[in-house]
DNA sequence: CTATTTAGTCAGAATCACTGACTACATTGG
DNA sequence: CCAATGTAGTCAGTGATTCTGACTAAATAG
């Protein structure tokens, strides 16, 4: 993990730089639109499925403990972005779903993402970004133990 | 910020998955070798230049405040991985350098990185990983403006 | 039916990040 | 030279996020 050794920057560092830039840009964009949430809350909310997600699944997808996920969901709930519902399938479980406000936030986030991708395409070319996406998608099954069933 | 049926997976999420997997693998690998440090400490240590780095520069490179960087450096120092030295050029400044132990950790980290890259190449092909690296490198100047904070 | 697993909570603590205020040294312009 | 301003780093206080461990309740396997 070193920087600047014969111009070989670690792949991990490169991923880190791109990832953080992407994430911070979205948060800044949504904040500017009046949506209030933290980075961690956003990471969790980004993983809520259309039809609702269980807390444990969210935790697993986000790579945090279910305790941490519960803490973040409570905050998102207080902010009016998500709601907890009983899972009709399993009385132990909850379904975390987006509220109307949450859905608006999600839409705004998608637009922000598209804007970032467009900006990146403008500098690197459409082909490069498509390729970047393709490599990362190919990497995912190797690396992401939690595959969402969608 | 979405992950459902028709839509693509967000580029941000893809970056997140790859980045976190890479990082966690390295930390796990080094822990298994007996090196003890946290993710945040590792992120900072990874940015220490061969000839030493200033605290403020490390903070900027890692995207945290110098106060936070100072906190992490103190921990790395206590763990015997880095040391603070006076900067002969500037009496206000320190040079954070790796100790012998720190250098061994850095070497181990580099080997862990190589192993991950090799594993990725095995699944995606050498060409794909080289391309991934190239796109990320091209992205960097767009995205990494090292904005100093506080 | 009992034993085990799974979903989620509560309580407590550690880590890591922030802001604000401060000291000490450096640099610059008159 | 020296006053003004800028930069490097620290101290103090706080907030956010995450963890571990212990727990309840429901589901499931034998």
Secondary structure in 3-state letters for chain A: CCCCCCCCCCHHHHHHHHHHHHHHHHHHHHHHCCCCCCHHHHHHHCCCCCCCECHHHHHHHHCCCHHHHHHHHHHHHHCCCEEEEECCCCCCCEEEEECHHHHHHHHHHHHHHHHHHHHHHHHHCHHHHHHHHHHHHHHHHHHCCCCCCC
Q: Tell me if A144 and B23 make a contact (CB, 8 A cut-off).
A: no
Confidence (pLDDT) at A146: 67
**pLDDT score, position B4:** 42
For residue B25, what pLDDT is reported?
93
Q: How far is B107 from chain A (nearest CA, A)?
A: 8
Q: Which among A49, A45, A138 has a CA at the least distance from the CA of B4?
A: A49
Q: What is the pLDDT of residue B116?
A: 96
pLDDT tens by residue, B104-146: 999 999 999 999 999 999 999 999 999 999 999 999 999 876 6
CB A37 within 8 A of CB A78: no
Euclidean distance between CA atoms B3 and A98, whole angstroms: 13
Per-residue model confidence (pLDDT) at position A148: 45
SS3 B96: strand
Helix A126-143 / helix B100-124 crossing angle, nearest 10 deg = 100
Q: Which of residues 47-76 of A touch B (CB under 8 A)?
A: 47, 49-50, 63
Distance CA B134, CA A14 (A): 10
All residue ranges of chain A with pLDDT < 70 are 1-7, 146-150
Q: Which residues contact A29 (CB under 8 A, 6 or more apart)?
A: A108, A112, A115
Cβ–Cβ gap B23/A12 under 8 Å: yes
Tell if the CB–CB gap between A11 and B50 is shorter than 8 Å.
no
Write down the pLDDT at residue B12.
Answer: 94
With CA of A62 and C1' of each nucleotide, the nearest comes out as D18
Q: How far apart are CA A18 and CA A33, in angstroms?
A: 23
Determine the pLDDT at residue A35: 93
- Confirm or reject contact between B14 and chain A (CB < 8 A): yes
Residues of A whose CB is below 8 A from B119: 142
The pLDDT tens digits for B7-27 are 678 999 999 999 999 999 999
Residue pair A8/B113 in contact by the 8 Å Cβ criterion: no
| Residue B150 in this model has a pLDDT that exceeds 90 | no
DSSP one-letter code for B10: P
For A118, the closest chain B residue by CA position comes to B11
Residue B132 and residue A135 in contact, taking contact as beta carbons nearer than 8 Å: yes
Q: Where along chain A do its domains lie?
A: 12-143
In Å, what is the separation between the CA of A66 and the C1' of C8?
8
Say how many C-beta atoms besides its own lie within 10 A of residue B97's C-beta. Answer: 17
Q: What is the pLDDT of residue B143?
A: 87
For B46-73, how does the pLDDT look when each residue is reduced to its tens digit (9 = 90+)?
A: 999 999 999 999 999 999 999 999 999 9
The listed CATH number (1.10.10.10, 3.40.225.10, 1.10.30.50, 3.30.70.360) that belongs to domain B11-143? 1.10.10.10
Architecture of domain A12-143: Orthogonal Bundle (1.10)
Of A43, A136, A150, the CB nearest to B15: A136
Contact B125, A3 (CB under 8 A): no
* Predicted pLDDT of residue A76: 97
Q: Give the gap in angstroms from C-alpha B91 to the nearest C-alpha of chain A.
A: 25
Q: What is the pLDDT of residue B7?
A: 63
Render pLDDT for A101-124 as a digit per residue (tens, 0 to 9): 999 999 999 999 999 999 999 999
Give me the mean pLDDT over the B29-41 stretch.
94
Half-sphere exposure at residue B3, Cβ-oriented, CA atoms within 13 angstroms: 23
pLDDT for position B9 = 85
């Amino acid at each position: 993990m070193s920087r600047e050794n014969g111009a070989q920057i670690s792949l991990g560092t490169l991923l880190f730089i791109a990832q953080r830039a992407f994430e911070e840009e979205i948060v800044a964009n949504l904040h500017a639109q009046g949506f209030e949430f933290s980075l961690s809350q956003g990471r969790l909310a980004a993983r809520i499925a259309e039809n609702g997600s269980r807390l444990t699944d969210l935790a697993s997808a986000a790579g945090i403990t279910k305790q941490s996920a519960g803490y973040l969901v409570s905050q998102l709930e207080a902010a009016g972005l998500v709601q907890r519902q009983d899972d009709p399938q399993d009385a132990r479980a909850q379904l975390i779903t987006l509220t109307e406000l949450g859905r608006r936030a999600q839409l705004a986030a998608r637009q922000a993402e598209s804007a970032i991708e467009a900006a990146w395409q403008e500098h690197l070319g459409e082909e490069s970004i498509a390729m970047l996406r393709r490599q990362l998608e190919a990497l995912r099954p190797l690396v992401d133990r939690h595959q969402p069933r969608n």
